[in-house]
Amino acid sequence: MKRTRFAAIAMIAIMALTLGALSSCGGQPKMTDTVTVWCWDPNFNLYAMKEAVAVYQKANPGVKVEIVDMAQDIEAKIISGLQAGGAGLPDIALFQDFRIEQFLSDYPDAFVDLKAEGVDYSQFAPYKVGPMTVGGKVYGIPFDTGSTGLWLRTDYMKEAGIDPDAYLGKNLTWSEVIALGEKIKAKTGKPLLAYQSDNFDMLRIVVQSTGGQFFKDDGSLNLRSEAFKKSLALFKELNDKGLLYQVVGWSDWINAINSDTSAGFLNAIWMVGSVKSRPENAGKYMVLPTPLIEGVPGAANASNNGGSSWYVFLSSKNKARAVDLLKSVWATATPDNLEFYNKILKDAGAMGTFLPSQSSSNYKAGDDFFYKGQALSKDFASWMANVPVLKYTPNYVPMRDAVAHATLNYFQGKLATIDEAIAAAETEYKQVTGK
């Protein structure tokens, strides 16, 4: 007998039950002053929140904050809790920016309107505030940026007889990058970019840099755009020229980067932590602005990948405290708070999107870990200002999956042309969403 894995079926059953049972006992005030936070990634999000709590506890010594690492399945657990009318949910949770619109549309009465609580959103990067805004209400506290760049190994460039200094700080086009990649590959045998073949992120980075959108204004799919077609064609070219080192799975991708398999990768600032986790990488990497696709109007040498924000559940029994924690540390420009932002940037590569924090010292300082002490944070912050805004909509996840699947099949030759790939993605999206 196989281990009975009734996950879905049983959870639905249990939920049906708790729906009725627990809605009757909500709303009783709890006397202990403890705030619970759910997030993931101990070295990044958990770490940042811990530092924020330390600042908060200076002024509020009696408050306890319990930060829980939910790793995988955090969204699934939150959905179960929301279906059960808030049972078992924490006070605060971290959501990826691309996921939150789905939650705000499916569960319109689940989150606290923080604008009504007095948070000043003019102090945050506008592209972060967009996805958390519904009507006149704004629901989250923006956390980190996913400003992207092209990470290159200068040691392999030198090995291939290329002077990294000729590229340092330059805005490149993709055709220049491909030429560079071919030279490196010919001399060192290293493919230019480590690429997670089952993942959508790199394609998204390129499409967003062109200013392209996956959705139209009315929320319907928008894959037949020039921007998307050109991005897909670029990927196919990279793939066919052997410039992608392909791995399956996220941790395997990180592994690939830290085992000298490629001459670089395309991803966001939060990769600083993973790169720094390997001492041998010291002095080797430089980061260039995200390359540009030629001939697409509105394209920029900047893009974004990832980034999350904090939200307070309306079901929280300690709402006032939870709101206060987020507001008084994450959204108020006191010297202590700015130092907090400064510290998490240096230690974890977590670059906040709270604009006043961007004048702090670590935003300007050079970083000796990188080639010629590149002022990485300063560069990423300056690119962040040019990031074209991407619309997520509540259907981002099925779109992401459908496009990733079609792209893989296109790479492997199961879909012959870009138009076929687009049609396949549209069909899967339609069937999975039932629209």
Partner 1 sequence: MKQKASFQRYLNRFGWFCVLPSVILFGVFMLYPILSSLYYVTRRWKGMSNTFIGLGNFIRMAQDKVFLSALGNNFLFMVVQIPLMVFLALVLAVILNQGIRRWKGAFRLAIFLPAVTSLVVVSVLFRVLLQENGMLNNVLLKAHLITQPIGWLNDAAWAKVTIILAMTWRWTGYNMVFFLVGLQSIDPQIYEAAEVDGASKTRQFFTITIPLLIPVILFSVVTSTSGTMQLFDEPNILTWQGGPANATMTTALYIYRQAFFINADFGYATAMSYVVVLISGIFAFAQMRLLGDRGNS
Work out how close the CB of 341 gets to partner 1 at its nearest, in angstroms, rounded to a whole number: 32
Under the criterion CB under 8 A, does residue 232 sit at the interface with partner 1? Answer: no
Among 39, 53, 67, 83, binds partner 1 (CB under 8 A): 83
| Residue 185 sits in the site that holds partner 1 (CB under 8 A) | no
Residue 314 binding partner 1, by CB under 8 A: no
Q: Is the CB of 2 or the CB of 30 nearer to partner 1?
A: 2
Options 36, 45, 102, 360; binder of partner 1; rule CB under 8 A: 102
Stretch that binds partner 1, among 270-278, 302-310, 342-350, 400-408 (CB under 8 A): 400-408
**134: contact with partner 1 by CB under 8 A:** no
- Mark the segment that binds partner 1 (CB under 8 A) among 25-33, 234-242, 265-273, 407-415: 407-415
Q: Is 417 in the site for partner 1 (CB under 8 A)?
A: no
- Applying CB under 8 A, what is the total number of residues that bind partner 1? 55
135 binds partner 1 (CB under 8 A): no
Residue 53 or 402 having the CB closest to partner 1: 402
* Interface with partner 1, residue 261, by CB under 8 A: yes
Please, which residues have CB within 8 angstroms of residue 255's CB and are 6 or more apart in sequence?
A: 247
Nearer Cβ to partner 1 (107/369): 107
Asked if 143 and 352 touch (Cβ cutoff 8 Å), the reply is: yes
Those residues with Cβ within 8 angstroms of residue 266's Cβ, 6 or more apart along the chain or in another chain: 148, 149, 150, 151, 193, 202, 205, 206, 290
How far apart CA 373 and CA 186 sit, in angstroms, is: 28
Which of 34, 57, 188, 255 is in the footprint of partner 1 by CB under 8 A?
255
DSSP 145-182: --BEEEEEEHHHHHHTT--GGGTTT---BHHHHHHHHH
Report CA Rg, the chain. Answer: 22
Nearer to partner 1, 158 or 430 (CB): 430
* Residue in 9, 233, 282, 320 binding partner 1, rule: CB under 8 A: 9
CB nearer partner 1, residue 307 or residue 398: 398
Spatial CA neighbour of 287 closest among 278, 295, 299, 275: 275
Q: Which of 129, 99, 306, 128 is nearest to 205 (CA)?
A: 306
User: Does the footprint of partner 1 cover residue 220 (CB under 8 A)?
Assistant: no
Q: Per rule CB under 8 A, is residue 282 in the interface with partner 1?
A: no
b/e map of 182-219 (b: 16 or more CB within 10 Å)?
eebbeebebbbbbbbbbbbbbbbbbbbbbbbbbbeeee
With beta carbons less than 8 A apart as the criterion, state whether 243 and 122 touch: no
Give the x/- contact pattern for partner 1 in 235-254, rule: CB under 8 A: -----------xxxx-xx--
Reported as type and span, the H/E element at residue 68 is strand 64-69
DSSP secondary structure letters along 375-391: -HHHHHHHHHTTPPP--
Residue 331 vs residues 64, 160, 316, 370: alpha-carbon distances, Å = 20, 47, 20, 31
Token duo for residue 394: 């509540």
Helix axes 226-240, 418-433, angle to 10 degrees: 120
25 binds partner 1 (CB under 8 A): no
**242 contact partners, CB below 8 Å, separation of at least 6:** 185, 191
Least Å from the CB of residue 260 to partner 1: 12
58 or 435: whose CB is closer to partner 1? Answer: 435
**177 near partner 1, rule: CB under 8 A:** no
**Which residues, other chains included, contact 76 with Cβ-Cβ below 8 Å and sequence gap of 6+?**
none
Nearer to partner 1, 24 or 32 (CB): 24
Within 13 Å of residue 407, how many CA atoms lie on the same side as its CB? Answer: 29
Does residue 69 bind partner 1 (CB under 8 A)? no
Q: Is residue 423 close enough to count as binding partner 1 by CB under 8 A?
A: no
Closer Cβ to partner 1, 118 or 434, answer by number = 434
Give the interface with partner 1 as residue ranges (CB under 8 A): 1-9, 11-17, 75-76, 79-80, 82-83, 102-103, 105-109, 197-198, 246-249, 251-252, 255, 261, 397-398, 401, 404-406, 408-409, 412, 414, 427-428, 431-434
